[in-house]
Structure 1
């Protein structure tokens, strides 16, 4: 699984033993989206996706109620875009994912991440992102986030392709994930990359 996803919880389809589809209640996802939308977290978001481990491939997805059905937007990286909608919660909507292969080995991962990534950051910008991630994690305490009660260790900058980072004029290569601890962040002024990170996420002790 992607290192960034190791931070986050995995909402498994444990009750699903047939090949396909995965069906999960929308209400649990709504609660997480509500915490982000109702709180003051302008720099971060919650992203849902199906990890491709175990041959998990999503063919299509939908949100259904007793009377309606809506298609879901799913990217080639299997990120699932879920609406924040009170009516869907009230109507007890269900998320349906049509899978290739055995859906019992698959699930939906939730990850806190920065809304946007940049090639260059000032120290204060990263501190703001880190603080908002900490605040949201604190607001999400309880199952299944009970293991993440401590403050995050720092920030992950995730890259799909090789890159380089320059910290206050000192360059170094990056393969996969570049991690910046809270202590290291206190020592720097400016951070830049040869390309914008694909994902900026929390770094926790469990990673």
Structure 2
């Protein structure tokens, strides 16, 4: 699995290799957002993004209905921020992405991750994150995506690509590049973990 728990699926059939907008029904996104917004998940969220930036560059995007169109916020890492809005679902809104490159290389990825990241975590905080991730993924069984019935294997801490991050676990220091993975067993044994810089992403680690 790339980047911890990262689910990718082609949400729209694309055959053209010319640069052109891609339109995806908002309903599928809404169903996933509803799962999070109606559940008890204060610590975690779902992030949508367009991976493979070198071959599928997103220049911009909108969400539109028959009568309205609104711009989307898209980060330099191509994370796409979508509203949770039942009216957009009932109005059969479309998510429109203006891409540069071969459209056949474009897909939408969905990742479960912590809403916020910190420079230190106590064991209690990591166990709370882990429990919410377990519950969310269990609740999502049945969606047409690649999910896992077993609990996650642990937690991923992701950093700027190519960076070297100083990590201190109960006073013992180590340097990691790009990513640190902690298994459930490791989390059960530690008291606190500290970083010299906040992780970019904190996500589930699975063995799938």
> Could you tell me the TM-score, scaled by structure 2's length?
0.94
Please give the per-residue CA displacement for 1:100-133, whole angstroms capped at 9, x wherever unaligned: 0111111110000000000011000000001101
- 3-state SS, counterpart of residue 207 of structure 2: coil
Q: 1 or 2, which has the higher helix percentage?
A: 1
**Contact 2:52-2:105 within 8 A present in 1 as well:** no
Q: Write out aligned runs for 1:98-109 (5 A).
A: 98-109=98-109
- 3-state SS, counterpart of residue 9 of structure 1: strand
Tell me what 2:39 maps to: 39
Q: Is 1:196 matched up with 2:194?
A: no
Looking at structure 2, the residues matched to 2 and 203 of structure 1 have their Cα atoms a distance apart, in angstroms, of: 10
Q: Is 1:187 matched up with 2:189?
A: yes
Please give the per-residue CA displacement for 1:145-196, whole angstroms capped at 9, x wherever unaligned: 3541111000000011220111101000011110010011110001101111
> Could you tell me the TM-score, scaled by structure 1's length?
0.94
- 3-state SS, counterpart of residue 3 of structure 1: coil
Please give the per-residue CA displacement for 1:8-42, whole angstroms capped at 9, x wherever unaligned: 32131551112322211100100110011110000
**Contact 1:54-1:105 within 8 A present in 2 as well:** no
Q: Is 1:94 matched up with 2:94?
A: yes
Root mean square deviation of aligned Cα: 1.4
Note the C-alpha offset of 1:143. 3.4
Q: 2:14 aligns with which of 16, 21, 36?
A: 16
Looking at structure 2, the residues matched to 52 and 198 of structure 1 have their Cα atoms a distance apart, in angstroms, of: 18
Q: Write out aligned runs for 1:57-72 (5 A).
A: 57-72=57-72
Tell me what 1:205 maps to: 207
Structure 1 13/140 Cα, relative in aligned 2: closer, same or farther at 3 Å? closer
